[in-house]
Amino acid sequence: MELFESLVKKIKGKNKKIVFPEGNDVRVVKAAVRLAEDKLVSSLVLGTEDDVKRLAGISELPEGMSVIDVPSYPKDKFEEMVAAFVDRRKGKNTAEQARSMLKDVNYFGTMLVYLGVADGLVSGAVHPTGDTVRPALQIIKTKPGTTRTSGAFVMTRNDEKYLFADCAININPNEQELAEIAVESIQTARLFDIDPKVALLSFSTKGSAKSDEVTKVAKATALAKELAPNEQIDGELQFDAAFVESVAAKKAPDSKVAGKANVFVFPELQSGNIGYKIAQRFGGFEAVGPILQGLNKPISDLSRGANEDDVYKVAIITALQATL
């Protein structure tokens, strides 16, 4: 709760508008209503007003909440959106294809973000990750100098806070992509008031093992240091060397990160996904995310197992990303 109290203070009064494409889902609708009632964000829900009111159990929409029924969207505005989409796609889609694609709520919602009608988007309670990420990559696109988006989790337990990445998107990032993930994770960590000390993880510490997998992490570390020369970044480090000072003193005595790391970059998705779930289930950490990194504007992907409170919290994070 302390974590989200601090985030709420950062977005209060900023009046960021978040679009929720899944207005046919009770979890999403109730969270959107709460956010508007709490005056944290302006909620824009895609669906019919009757369905939204019915799902939320309300007779009137609260101040700061609006609904767009995509099939009933004014034709002139829709055609403007089609033209902007075709231009953004640079000939990869025709106007006819664009009209069809924009009937999909995730494409429509992402275009609202691209056009500045909304500041961010939260989806994924009903749709798989690809349905949220694909429009984001095609329309919002990644920041200059970043080739991939990635998914981070903030892991919290009592007063402990750590960032894990990439645990959601990239199956086997190469050394350049891994370096970019490390640098993007620094920015995400600071959103949550984590002073980033970044460890790129491996089963080897400073050459204690030899393999292509170890070489990849070592090269990624060097690239990350070039991309962010003023940041505290080190690797390759085993998790115990990164986290436990007594182990760090033996395995990496010259490292300024080893034994003090609070941002952990996993070498590939398999270990990242397993790692955050072990911390969550065995260690009793709350996993907040995935938080998508590296996009020009914030797009957030929910788990399909998310509850109303998860939707509420992810929207707060999305609004915070939009303040940067």
User: CA 271, 273, 278: angle at the middle one, nearest 5?
Assistant: 90
Average pLDDT for 66-83: 96
Q: What is the pLDDT of residue 324?
A: 83
Cβ atoms 294, 149 nearer than 8 A = yes
Average pLDDT, rounded, for the chain:
95
Is 90 exceeded by the pLDDT of residue 251?
yes
CA geometry: angle 189, 191, 194, nearest 5 deg: 45
How confident is residue 60, by pLDDT bands cut at 50, 70 and 90? very high
In the CATH scheme, what is the code of domain 1-141+296-322? 3.40.50.10950
Task: Confirm if 205 and 237 have CB atoms less than 8 A apart.
Answer: yes
pLDDT band at 305 (very low <50, low <70, confident <90, very high): confident
| The pLDDT value given to residue 271 | 97
In the sheet that 232-237 helps form, which strands lie side by side, from edge to edge?
A: 232-237, 197-201, 263-265, 160-165, 150-157, 286-293
Residue 6 has a pLDDT of 87
Mean pLDDT (whole number) for 235-245: 97
Please, how many CA atoms are within 13 Å of residue 233, restricted to the half-sphere of its CB? 26
Classify residue 67 by burial, with Cβ atoms within 10 Å: 0-12, 13-18, 19+.
Answer: buried
Rounded Cα gap, residues 223 and 215, in angstroms: 12
**Positive or negative: CA dihedral 37, 41, 47, 48:** positive
Predicted structure pTM score = 0.88
Using DSSP's 3-state secondary structure scheme, residue 91 falls into coil
**Nearby residues of 162 by Cβ (< 8 Å), 6 or more positions away:** 154, 155, 194, 262, 263, 264, 285
- pLDDT for 91 equals 84
Higher pLDDT, 145 or 34: 34
Whether 134 shows a pLDDT value over 80: the answer reads yes
| pLDDT score of 19 | 98
**CATH architecture for segment(s) 150-286:** 3-Layer(aba) Sandwich (3.40)
The average pLDDT across 61-81 equals 96
Sheet holding 299-301, edge to edge: 65-68, 42-46, 17-20, 120-123, 299-301
**pLDDT confidence of residue 117:** 96
- Rounded to an integer, the average pLDDT of 260-277 is 97
Peptide bond into 37 cis (omega under 30): no
Q: Where in the chain is the domain with CATH 3.40.50.10950?
A: 1-141+296-322
pLDDT interval class at 1 (50, 70, 90): low
Which uninterrupted H or E stretch holds 264?
Answer: strand 263-265
Residues of the chain within CATH 3.40.50.10750 domain(s) are: 150-286
pLDDT band at 222 (very low <50, low <70, confident <90, very high): very high
Least reliable range by pLDDT among 151-165, 204-218, 221-235, 298-312: 298-312
State yes or no: pLDDT of 97 exceeds 80. Answer: yes
